[in-house]
A = this chain, B = another copy of it.
Amino acid sequence: MKLTILGSYSATPHVDKAPTAQLLEIRGHRFLIDCGEGTQVRLRQHKVKFSHIKHIFISHLHGDHFYGLPGLISTFRLLGREAPLHIHGPKGIKEAILLLLKLADSWTNYPLHFHELDDKDSVLLYADDQVEVTTIPLKHRIYTNGFLFKELPGLRKINKIATDKHQIDISQFHKLKLGEDVEDDQGQIIANSKLTLDPSAPRSYAFCSDTAYFPELANAVQGVDVMYHESTFLEDRKDLALKTYHSTAKQAAMIAKQAQIGQLLLGHFSSRYNSLDPFLEEAKTVFENVQLASDGMVYDFE
């Protein structure tokens, strides 16, 4: 499980900082989360194979989270994509994209599936036997969701030393992985617990951008391993944060503490701050295990 920060800043343009976009690699998936202007160039910089992206999750329809999507969809077409692309985002996203494709007379030659959202409560967006993705309803100026990515419990691991000792045939391994007991060569039943090890603990990642501070958010992200939370402002601009439905570094840390998460990543910094050190300092007064997201940063969950 690996997270690449493609863009860590808020809306106004920077020469060397991009607006919000992240790539989450989880159990063989590559999920793109938000897609600010220039995301496709960032993907190129990180040598991401475009064809590996099958699901894109858009938190809300402000430009710094969304205006890179039309170009990326066009690029997929130019690259000859055939695999379906799933776009999960607020109601209206389909109308916008289809209008742009119509005006360009450039319909995709691959299936484009829109999954539009307008639920106020958390909903399941994607699930297979490995991973589950749900929304985290946020409080922003327009309808906005964060996303919770959860690995599902994996299969039990074969304890090779034990299976050799008990002479368990390889044909029984599938049963063992599922947690079942098996028979040895002499027809004797061996308990699963003697032959297997616990699976790796499933990990979880919460993406929360953009949002005003509201304490109930902690319930939705309770105990996650890593949470990205926006911190557009510091406490010196708490009023402005309130007015614009954004958070301060301290407020993000308060959610982290209350939810007892593992690690907090801060991002979506306002360009009014020349130094980001105060974001770290302010958050640490509340929650110790915090890092600043930065463009190009690769966070390894191992």
Residues of A bordering B, CB below 8 Å = 11-15, 37-38, 40-41, 43-45, 61-64, 67-68, 70-71, 74-75, 78-79, 90, 92-93, 95-96, 99-100, 103-106, 141-142
Closest residue of chain B to A40 (Cβ to Cβ) is: B13
Q: How far is the CA of A12 from the CA of B12 in the complex (A)?
A: 24
Q: For A68, list chain B residues within 8 Å (CB).
A: 37
| Given A12-B79, A14-B44, A45-B15, CB of A103 within 8 Å of CB of B61 | yes
Distance in angstroms from A259 CB to nearest chain B CB is 29
With both chains docked as a complex, state the minimum distance between the C-beta of A108 and any C-beta of chain B, in angstroms: 12
Could you say which of B11, B13, B41 contacts A14, with CB atoms under 8 Å apart? B41
Which B residue's beta carbon lies closest to that of A79?
Answer: B12
Q: A64 to chain B: which residues have CB within 8 Å?
A: 71, 74
CA distance A40 to B37 in the complex (A): 10
Whether the pair B105, A100 counts as a contact (CB closer than 8 A) is: no
Contact pick for A104, options B44, B62, B70, CB 8 Å: B62
Tell me whether A96 and B100 are in contact in the complex, defined as CB-CB below 8 angstroms, given that A12-B78, A71-B67, A79-B12 are known contacts. yes
Separation of A40 and B103 alpha carbons in the complex (Å): 22
Q: A13-B40, A99-B96, A103-B96 are known contacts. Are A71 and B63 too (CB-CB below 8 A)?
A: yes
Known: A41-B14, A95-B99, A100-B96. Is A70-B63 also a contact (CB below 8 A)?
yes
**Complex: chain B residue closest to A90, CB-CB:** B103
A71–B141 contact, CB under 8 A? no
State the Cβ distance, A47 to closest chain B Cβ, in Å.
10
Q: List 22 A-B contacts (CB under 8 A).
A: A12-B75, A12-B78, A13-B40, A13-B75, A14-B44, A15-B45, A37-B37, A37-B67, A61-B100, A61-B104, A62-B74, A62-B104, A63-B71, A63-B74, A63-B104, A63-B106, A95-B99, A96-B99, A96-B100, A96-B103, A99-B99, A103-B142
B142 touches A104 (CB 8 A): yes
- Residues in B whose Cβ lies below 8 Å from that of A44: 13-15
Contacting pair B37 A13 (CB below 8 A)? no
In the complex where A13-B44, A79-B12 touch, is A142 in contact with B71 (Cβ < 8 A)? no
Closest to A65 in B: B104
Decide yes or no: A11 and B67 within 8 Å by CB, A38-B38, A103-B61, A142-B104 being known contacts.
Answer: no
Q: How far is the CA of A238 from the CA of B104 in the complex (A)?
A: 23
Residues of B within 8 A of A43 (CB): 13
Q: Which 6 A-B pairs have the closest CB atoms?
A: A13-B40, A61-B103, A63-B74, A92-B103, A37-B71, A67-B71
Q: List the B side residues contacting A70 at CB < 8 Å.
A: 63, 67
Name the distance in Å between A294's Cβ and chain B's nearest Cβ: 17
**Residues of B close to A67: CB separation below 8 A:** 37, 67, 70-71, 74, 100
Q: What is the chain B residue whose CB lies nearest that of A68?
A: B37
* A172 smallest CB distance to B (angstroms): 50
